[in-house]
Amino acid sequence: MGMRQSNIVVLASGGGSNFQAIHDACENGTIPGRVVLVVASSPQAGILERAARAGIPTRVAAKSDDPLEIVQGYDVDIVALAGYMRLIPSHMVAAFADRMLNVHPSLLPAFGGKGMYGMRVHEAVVNHGVKVTGATIHLVDSAYDTGPIVLQEAIRIHSHETSADVSARVLEIEHRIYPQAIKLLAEHRLRRDGRRVHILPNPTP
C-alpha cells in the first residue's frame, strides 16, 4: 500500500512560476501529492491563469477574507506560500503548524522581513555588495521570513551582475528546491527540533 497523496494548497500574489514548479513535480510523481486549490491575493495575479490551464480550482482572497476559511473543505495537508504578499494570520499558522512552507529569494536571515520581497531583495543584495546569495525554504511562523529553515542553496554573485541577473539565477534555485521541500514534507521526512529542522532518511520500501 502506497503513501496517501498529500493535498496541497498554494497561496500566491504573482505570476505563479513556483506554483508551476510544484504542480509539475506533482504531475511527474516527484511529489506524492496534488495541488487541490490556488488562492491568489488579487484577481490580476498571473497564477490564476496558470491554475485554470491546469484545471485547478482557484479563489481570490480579499484583504478582509480569512484564508483559513477559504481552504477549509479541501482536506489540505500542506500549505505552500509562493510570493504571497500578506502575513498569514496566527490562527492559520497554528492550524498548519510545521505543515506550511514559504520560499524567500535570499539566504535568510539576511535580506528578509517586512517589505523585503521580489526584486527589492535582489536590489538590496546587489547594492550591499554581498558575494553570495540564494534561496531559502522555511516553515512559516507568525512573522515575516523568520520560521525554521528547511532547505537553502547558495550562488556566488559576480561583480558585473545586475539585480535582474541575480533574480533569474535565484529563481532557478527556487524552482528546484521548493518542490524538494514539499516532497520531504509530504513524505513526513521533516522533524523540527526548536529552530533546527532535521531531514529524515528515506524509508526503504
Contact (CB, 8 A) for 117 and 124: no
Residue 104 designated active-site: yes
Q: Strands (DSSP E) along the chain, which ranges?
A: 6-12, 33-40, 58-60, 78-82, 100-104, 132-139, 149-156, 190-193, 196-199
23, 104, 138, 175: the active-site residue: 104
Helices 119-128 and 163-186 pack at an angle, to 10 degrees, of 120
| Active site amino acids | 104
